[in-house]
Every structure is written in C-alpha cells, then in structure tokens.
Structure 1
C-alpha cells in the first residue's frame, strides 16, 4: 500500500527546479577543450579530436566497469552487520521505562517494521515502546513530543522529521534531560552528536545506488529523469549528492533533475506526465520514495511511456512486488528496517545511560531482475529482515546490553 503526505520544507532550504547534467558528445568536448588555440591545420585538429575521443571512450569504459562492479556489490546480501563494539553499562537501571518512537507517518511500511523490531529489542532489556503518529503535520509531531516529555520518557526517537518541524517541543524535551534521536535526516552543518541530541542519518545514498544501476543497465547511455522530492532539505541533498556519479563515470548519460512535491496522487501523476513531456527522449525515470510510486506509474501510463525503466528508493512489498512481476519497475533500493529497529534501540540506550552515541549505519540492498527472484516478497519476510541477510545481529546487540 502506498501512503502519501505533504512533507515539510525548512525555511530557506534551496529547491532545485530543474538541474541538467547533459553530457556533451566526445567530439564536441574534444574540439573545444583539446584543440590547440594557435593551430588551425586539419592534421592538428584531427589528431586532437581523435585523442580526446579516445580519452572520452576510456572514461566511458572505466565508468561502466566501475558501475557494474558497484551494482554487483549493492545487489548482495549483508555479509557483516555494522553492530558497534563498545558495550553499555547501566542498562538495567532503565527497566520499566518507555521510549517514544515518532515517525513522520506511522503507517508507512518501513516505519511499521522499525517500530515492531524496536519493540522486541527494547523488551529484551525491560523497556517499553510507545509509537505516536506524526501524521505528517508539525502540530501532531509537537503533540507527540509533548506527550513523551510529560510521561518522562527514557528517550524520543523521531523518524524522517527535521528537527525544526517541532523545534520548540523538542527543545523543551531536551531541557528536561530526555535524549533525542533524529533519524533519517542529515545533521545540520557543524553538528556534533551528544547524549542530548543525536542524528542517525540512515541510508543517505539510495539515489546514488540507483545512479550506479542506471549507468550499468544502460551501458553508459542513460537518458534519465530524477524526480527529486523538494519537501525536505534531506531529500533534496540525497539526489544532489548522486549527480557527481553520473558526471564522473558516464559522459554518455543525460540526467535531468525535476522537483516534485508529495501532495496528492493526482498532482504527482500530473508532474510525472509533465516531466516526460518536457523530456520525451528519457529512457529512465527515478522517483525518490515509494509513497510517490503509484502516482508515478499513473503518470507513465497517461503519457504512454510504460516502456521506460522506472526505479524507486525506500522500497517495500509494493515496489518489490512490481519489480518481481516484471512490470515497469526495474530497480528498487530497500533499507533493512528490521535492523534499524535494533540499531536505534542501541543508540537510545547509549544516550540514556550517558555512554555517548556511536555511528549506527543501516544496511540496504539494491533489487533488480538479477536478484528479486531470490526473496519472498511478503510483509513477513520484510519484517524478519531476511531480504538482507540473517538475524545474527540481534544476539550481538543483546550482548552489548548485558542480556
């Protein structure tokens, strides 16, 4: 099921309406950058053009080889989980307390899995979990934070919510000594994680994983539209940070970034149609999160562009099911939300016991036609984490907590 909501944009956040990385042909690039300014002889020009053309071809070959190698790695299961090594003392003193988990929208599939595994992990050490639905609204999020503060929570974990969306309420919780984790958001410049407030950015390279796949799948000739959700500074940064991959590794690729807003299905479908109308030669289309997948498919159908290769991040049963059916979806990045629940539990325990936060990266996996047949596309399989590897990390975390 796809859930849609209107995301929040921090004041002053830059929105890129349409950034284009159109790679020039090797001949035009070489003639402008390689031909000697003082020479006009045909032989010199021909030699310079051939040399530059050869250099461009070499770049293409190297970039394609690198992309193929990266895709192979990204499609693999997790062989070694990034469980921290430092143990935590004093966890038993938190027994009976409650941690509040506040996702942007409670019923997004990934958040459901994170909440479920966090509940299991907290129960291992005698703590409780209270989930409060942010409803995608600042007022609802602030109310959740205030509820946690009033209850004397052991910690507050927000998910996909910029700090500024409920700053006053979060500041008040911080003043009460309640540790706060901001999950799935980039930290502000100069931020230093502390026992009071810590950022756990999550999997920030999902558009970059798609970039490697597009280069490899297209043999270095992708004409791509990247639909960048402009409702959050982090979602903008995710896409913008992927652009250098195309620039450095795919001179034959043309990449156009189009801003979209997660408002209503009809608007997103219209945005998709408009993006395709303005870029009729596009062969690849990336939509940033799975909540925009259904209306994006509608837009492709309305534009009679169902032959385009569609990709998406933040995948769950919806996106992977479409991929497995062989329909328009050709690549999906999914995050190991089951692991995330345990990692966030570990982090809040460290903060609540004043043990100091540590890096808590989440595993992810790129799914394509090459590996989708190896998994069961069910909610139970997603919840278990078996899409990504085994559950050995659970025992490893428990040892760190002294249980």
Structure 2
C-alpha cells in the first residue's frame, strides 16, 4: 500500500495515535507482519508539502545536531529528595534488547544512589504479560515509584492505575502522552519529543548525504503508537525539504524480532533502487544488516537511531554512515528528578532530552568508549550530575 504523507495527514496520525494507543499497542506486540505486502507492513512515499514548522532547516540544523551542548537543560527549581532515602524505585523498559535502556538504568541507579535510594530493573520483554507482571511486582513491593520506559500507558493501564491508587508515583518515558491518562499529581511523562528529534536528525542527514535524491527504507518499530508517530515526524522533513526523495517503511517489533530479517529482505527485493536503510532503533540493526546481505544488496548506506556504543563504534569504523542518539544517562537523572518532585507534591517541569547526530566526519575528538557513553559527555558537560545533586539538597 502506498500513500502520500501531508501535514494534514500527519496531524490526523498524531491524533489517532493518542486516541488508539492501547489498540495499536496490542496489535503491534502480537502482529506477525513480515513483508511489505502483508498486513504487518506498510510503505509510504513522500511528496512535496508546505514548509516545515522547524525554526531551522537544512544544513544549519544538521550542523547543530552533530555537536554536544554547552550545558544540559537541568531544571532550576530545587526539590527535597531526601524522602527517597532507603526506598526502591522500579524501572521497567519495554525490552532490555535495546541498549539504550541499559544506559538509562545506569544513570538512574547512580542518581538514586545520590539520594540513598535503590533501583530494581524489571524487563518488559516486549509483551503485555511481562510488562503487567513487572508493574504488579512493583506495586506489591510498595515501590517508591514506577518508571515505564517506551511502554504506552494503555498497555499496562490497569496495573498503572492500581499503582497510583496505592500512592505510587508513575513516570512514563519515551512516549507521547496518552490523552486518556493525562499527567497528574501521581503521573508524569518524560522525553516524548526525543524519538521524533532523532528521526528528524536522521532525515536531514540522508537528504544532505544524497544531495536530495535518496531512496530510503525505514525499519519502523511498531511497539506502540509513539515510534510510528515519530517516523511520521521524520517523513515530514522529507516532505518539506526533499521532494525528490522516496521513503518507504517496513514494520518491525520486539515481539516478532525473528521477522525482521525476512521482512526487510522482502522489502529490498521489492524495490531494487533503495539506496539507504535505516533501523529506527539499535536493537533492530543486526538483523537489518543481515537482511541486506541475504538480499545480496551492495552499496546501500545504513544508519540507525537510539545510538549506544556499538552504533557509534560502527560509525567510527564506517559500517554505519550515521546514527542518532538521545542523552540516555541524563534521562536517568531526569527520571529521578521527576520521582522526587512527584513524591514531594511539586510541579514536574517539561524536561528536554538532548539528541545528537553522529557521523564519521563530525565525531571529532569524541571519545568512543563505554565510559564516555555512560558519563553523558557525548551530549554535553558531565556537570549535570552535580547540578541535580544541588537541586535535591544532597550535594
């Protein structure tokens, strides 16, 4: 199926994503979509549209995206986090297959230790059953807070509702806010823009690298409505800035990880003119590359998102032409800050999670090491940890 993406269509997509989060999540986590010809896959070809709402476009935006920040956007209002001392916070990522969540867990654990708290990680394993079990375990353990990462609220609504009724604050990370479950005194959403920012960064790289002639296949994650909505944000950049680019999507999911290779191979065989392949997230990169080999395709440029050390090393080695990542260590500290504020009954700010584009030409003096990744220095000065400690009254 081929469709044209326009600004109006994107707005409808965003509204649809809010309204049908639970329904889409259930389908995404159980669907068996493989090739681009079946119900589990879809493709869309971009066309020229009206101007972007971004304040900067093209090469200026691309240059800014490749640099670390001068300072992290740490909140300025203090909050007493001493009440968390001796408590346990549950962190539930949708799947520990994704390296990004391991980085965030390390950051959250370090932040929790700063206030005398502990972190219990429970793997959602990409299934509603395991996610529900993790939430139930956290509630039974009377956790100080529950943080679900990349898990739509609707996928564990009953359990998260019960947790809040029991007085346990809930943080939902890396998801577009669910209108049926708005932020409240016991619920906060953190980092909903980062996924879209990564897609827009990769889109701008492909446009520049291809001189506006790219034929791109995106392996788009269907683990909930948010990743697909973020892919649409990237497609909007192509609509606005590259009318001669062609973009198609192939749906993949954590629950059907074994289908990534055959579905990608099928999409590549269907369109022999594809010149770029993007794995939306790093956990799907290896099977994506395997599929390219199985399809006997050469000359294809590969890129991915949610970058960890493996992806940045691949960029350094030339295996990937680009990768985009969000400041996952910083996000762990942001999660602790949100927990502290909900616990104290304080207002939770709108946090910004920085995103950076990594290319071989722009790595510069970036230290491509696990230590540098975990410190957060890829995205800005590591003094943010001291800044948070001062805000929490534990410096």
TM-score by length of 2: 0.84
Moved more, 208-217 or 134-143: 134-143
Q: Does 1:251 align with 2:243?
A: yes
Rg larger in 1 or in 2? 1
Distance 1:324 1:267 in 2: 29
- Within the candidate set 116, 124, 133, 2:114 is matched to 124
Within 5 A, what are the aligned runs for 1:1-400? 9-11=24-26, 17-22=42-47, 66-89=57-80, 91-106=81-96, 108-189=98-179, 192-202=182-192, 203-205=194-196, 206-263=198-255, 266-327=258-319, 329-400=320-391
Shift of 1:16: 6.8
Distance 1:174 1:229 in 2: 29
Distance 1:140 1:257, change over 3 A: closer
Q: Is the 8 A contact 1:15 1:236 kept in 2?
A: no
1:52: which partner in 2? Answer: none
What do residues 141-187 of structure 1 show as CA deviations (whole Å, max 9, x unaligned)? 22222222122221111111111222221111111111000111111
Moved more, 317-326 or 393-402: 317-326
2:7: which partner in 1? Answer: none
Q: Is the 8 A contact 1:19 1:258 kept in 2?
A: no
What secondary structure is seen at the aligned counterpart in 2 of 1:80? coil
Distance 1:223 1:107 in 2: 29
Distance 1:340 1:306 in 2: 37
Q: Is the 8 A contact 1:320 1:372 kept in 2?
A: no
Distance 1:147 1:271 in 2: 36
Q: Is the 8 A contact 1:324 1:373 kept in 2?
A: no
Q: What is the Cα-based RMSD across aligned positions, in Å?
A: 2.6
Distance 1:139 1:259, change over 3 A: closer
Name structure 2 gaps, 5 residues minimum: 1-22, 29-38
Moved more, 227-236 or 337-346: 227-236
Name structure 1 gaps, 5 residues minimum: 1-7, 25-55
Moved more, 103-112 or 152-161: 103-112
Q: Is the 8 A contact 1:207 1:239 kept in 2?
A: yes
What do residues 358-393 of structure 1 show as CA deviations (whole Å, max 9, x unaligned)? 112211210012123532333222111122222111
Distance 1:253 1:106 in 2: 34
Shift of 1:331: 0.8
Distance 2:280 2:98 in 1: 15
Aligned length: 358
Distance 2:163 2:60 in 1: 46
Shift of 1:238: 0.9
Distance 1:139 1:256, change over 3 A: closer
